[in-house]
Amino acid sequence: MAAIGFIRLEPYDGKLSRTVLRGGKDSNALLLPDYASVEMLHHPEFAGMPLAVGGDPEARHGIVLTANYIAKQKGVKTGMALWQAKQICPEIIFVPPRMDLYLRFSKMAREIYSEYTDKIEPYGIDEAWLDVSDSRNLKGSGMTIAREISHRIKYELGVTVSIGISWNKIYAKLGSDYKKPDAITEFNRENYKDRIWQLPASDLLYVGRQTNKKLQKLGIRTIGQLAESDEKLLESHFGKIGNVLWAFANGWDEDPVCKEGYEAPVKSIGNSTTTPRDLENDLDVWIIQIALAESVAARLRKHGFKCKTVEITVRDNRLYSFSRQIHLRQPTNITNEIVTAAFQLFKDNYKWEHPIRSLGIRAADLVLDDIPVQLDLFGNQEKKEKLEKLDRTVDEIRRRFGYFSIQRAAMYQDKVLSHLDAGTHTIHPHSYFHG
C-alpha cells in the first residue's frame, strides 16, 4: 500500500505546539511553503498582524494571492480585491509578491524532501506530494517521516508545515487542510469515513463554487453524500468530471506521484502589457514583443527553466482577443528564439483590421535547463550557446545597473514604446490534471 503526503509551509510563531491525528501505518503525504509564510519570516516586524500578499503595498490595485492565518480568521480570502480585504480588515498589511524568493524556498524544501524519496510531485510553487512507500524500511512509517520533515522544515527554513497523510493523493491533500497551522493529519482506510465523509463537499479538490451550488441543488452537501450518490446521476449533471468527483470522494484515486526529475515546479511563466499607445504596424508589435520576451526569458534563466511552447495573446482596441501557441523543436530560454517564435505566430494570425491595445507572451511546458536534449542536426549549436551567453551577460548588467542600462537597438526606433519596463511576471503553477 502506498504512503503519500502533502505539505504546506506556514509562518513560524515561535511555539512548538502541534496537532497530530494518528491513523494506520500506511500513508501518503503532501508538503510545501506558501507565500504568506515566507513573507512573515522575512518581516518579523509584522508578527501577530494580519498580512496578505498581492498588489502593491499601498493597496491601490490587485487581488489577494494569499493571506496569513490572522487575516483569514478576519475573513480575508484568496482572490479578494485588495480594497475589499481592507474593508473587512482595516489593519491588514499588503506586501507585493516576490516570486524569486518563493521559488528559492520551494527549492530548499524540495532538497529536504529528496532525502526521503525521489517521488516528489509539485502542486504549484508552495505544495507537493511525496510518495514515501519505498522509504519505510529505512526511514520509518509515513507518520514518522512526516514528523521528521516537519521538524526539519521548522528549524532549517524557519517556517512550519501542515501535512496530510493518506494512501492516495486526494485524501493526502485534504489532510493538509484539515488542521492548520503546524499540524499533521492522517486519513487511513480505518478512519476516513468518520473523518472525511462528514466534511463539506466543497472541501474536496476540484469542487469549486459553481460545482458546489449544483451539488447542493441535488441535495449533496457532504463528501459522504457525494461518495454514496449515484455515479450515473453525477455524470448526467456534470459530465466526466462527475465520475472523477465521485471517485475522489470514495478515495479511489490511483494516480501515482511522479518521480522527481526534469519537470519544472511551475507550468509556465508569462508577461503581458497594455501598451503605452495603440500599436499600428508590425514594427510596433516587434518592439513590444522584444520587451516581453526579454523579461520572460530572463525569468526562465534565473530559475533554471527552459520552455517547449511559446504562446501569444493579442487584444485589439475593440477588445477582441485571441491566443495562439507553437511547440518548439528544442526547449529554450534564449530571448531571440522566444521572440522569433512569438512574432511569427503574430504574423500568421493577425491581419491588422484594427490597432492593438494589449500583447502577451507566455513560455509554457517548462523543463529544467539541464535536461538532456538531442542536438538538432540542422541547427547551429555554437550560435545558440553564444546567444545564451549574451543573454546572461545582459541579465547581469541589468541586475547591477538597472533595466534601462542596456537595451537592444530595435527599442530605440520608438521613444514611447521603448520606455516600457516589462518587469512584471505571471507564474502559473502545475495543476493536478496535466495538460
Residues 277 and 394 in one domain: yes
- Tell whether the model's pLDDT for residue 21 goes beyond 80: no
pLDDT of 26-80, one tens digit each? 344 544 446 777 888 888 898 889 998 886 655 456 788 888 889 989 999 888 8
Q: Which of 171, 196, 221 is the last residue in one of the domains?
A: 196
Q: What is the DSSP letter of 371?
A: -
Q: Which of 188, 218, 249 is the last residue of a domain?
A: 249
410 burial (CB, 10 Å; 0-12 / 13-18 / 19+) is middle
Average pLDDT on 388-404 reads 88
Specify the pLDDT at position 32: 45
Which residues make Cβ contacts (< 8 Å) with residue 278, sequence separation at least 6?
317, 355, 356, 357
pLDDT digits (tens, 9 = 90+) for 295-329: 999 989 988 889 999 999 999 988 888 999 999 98
Residues making up the binding site: 126
> Pick the residue with more confidence: 186 or 14?
186
In a domain, 255, yes or no: no
* Co-location of 305 and 365 in the same domain: yes
Q: What is the pLDDT of residue 260?
A: 65
Query: What pLDDT, on a 0 to 100 scale, did the predictor assign at position 147?
Result: 93
Tell me the backbone φ, ψ of residue 92, rounded to 5 degrees: -65, 145
The rounded mean pLDDT for the chain is: 82
pLDDT reading at 270 higher than 50: yes
Report pLDDT digits (tens) over 335-346: 999 999 999 999
DSSP 111-164: HHHTTT-S-EEESSSSEEEEE-GGGHHHH--HHHHHHHHHHHIIIIISEEEEEE
> Among 267-271, 403-407, 427-431, which stretch is predicted with the lowest mean pLDDT?
427-431
Higher pLDDT, 409 or 350: 350
Q: Is residue 389, in this structure, part of any structural domain at all?
A: yes
Same domain, 294 and 231: no
Q: Give the length of the chain.
A: 435
8 and 83 housed in the same domain: yes
Question: Are residue 158 and residue 68 in the same domain, yes or no?
Answer: yes
Q: What distance in Å separates the CA atoms of residue 89 and residue 293, rounded to the nearest whole number?
A: 39
Q: Name the grid cell of 282.
A: 508590425
For the ranges 89-98, 222-231, 332-341, 373-382, the lowest mean pLDDT is seen at 373-382
Residue 200: helix, strand or coil by DSSP? strand
CA distance 406 to 421: 12
Query: Where does the pLDDT of residue 433 fall: very low under 50, low under 70, confident under 90, or very high at 90 and above?
Result: low
Using CA atoms, how far residue 69 sits from 58, 84, 129, 215, in Å, is 21, 17, 23, 29
pLDDT of 273 > 90? The answer is: no
* pLDDT reported for residue 193: 94
Find the distance separating the first CA and the last CA of the chain, reported in whole Å. Answer: 28
* Number of domains forming the structure of the chain: 3
> Partners of 310 in the beta sheet?
326, 363
Beta strands in 351-402 (DSSP E): 356-368
Q: Does 16 score more than 60 pLDDT?
A: no
Residue 375 is assigned to a structural domain of this protein: yes
CATH of residue 304's domain is 3.30.1490.100
Element (H, E) at 23: none
* Cα three-residue angle 406-411-416, rounded to 5 degrees: 115
Task: Note the pTM of the prediction, 2 decimals.
Answer: 0.61
Instruction: Report how far residue 12's alpha carbon sits from residue 29's, in angstroms, rounded to the nearest whole number.
Output: 21
Burial classification of residue 426, based on how many CB atoms lie within 10 Å of its CB (0-12 exposed, 13-18 middle, 19 or more buried): middle
pLDDT band at 265 (very low <50, low <70, confident <90, very high): low
Q: CA angle at residue 79 from 43 to 39, to 5 degrees? A: 10
Q: What is the pLDDT of residues 184-241, one digit of tens each?
A: 999 999 999 999 999 999 999 888 888 999 999 999 999 999 999 999 999 999 888 8
At 206, which CATH number? 1.10.150.20
Is residue 259 a part of any domain in this protein?
no
Could you tell me whether strands 305-316 and 321-332 are parallel, antiparallel, or unpaired per DSSP bridges? antiparallel
Q: Which helix (H) or strand (E) holds 109?
A: helix 99-113
Residue 406 domain-assigned?
yes
Of 153, 196, 147, the closest CA to residue 171 belongs to: 196
CATH number of 53's domain: 3.30.70.270
Q: What is the mean pLDDT of residues 276-302?
A: 92
Q: Annotated binding residues for Mg(2+), as ranges?
A: 126
d(CA 323, CA 88): 37
Question: Do both 322 and 386 map to the same domain?
Answer: yes
Asked whether residue 397 carries a pLDDT value surpassing 50, the answer given is yes
* Whether residue 246 has pLDDT greater than 70: yes
Helix runs in 140-230, H state only:
142-152, 169-178, 192-195, 209-217, 223-227
The whole domain housing 144 covers 1-196
Are residues 358 and 271 located together in one domain of the fold?
yes
Q: Are residue 10 and residue 97 in the same domain, yes or no?
A: yes
Residues with catalytic function: 127
**Are 177 and 205 in the same domain?**
no
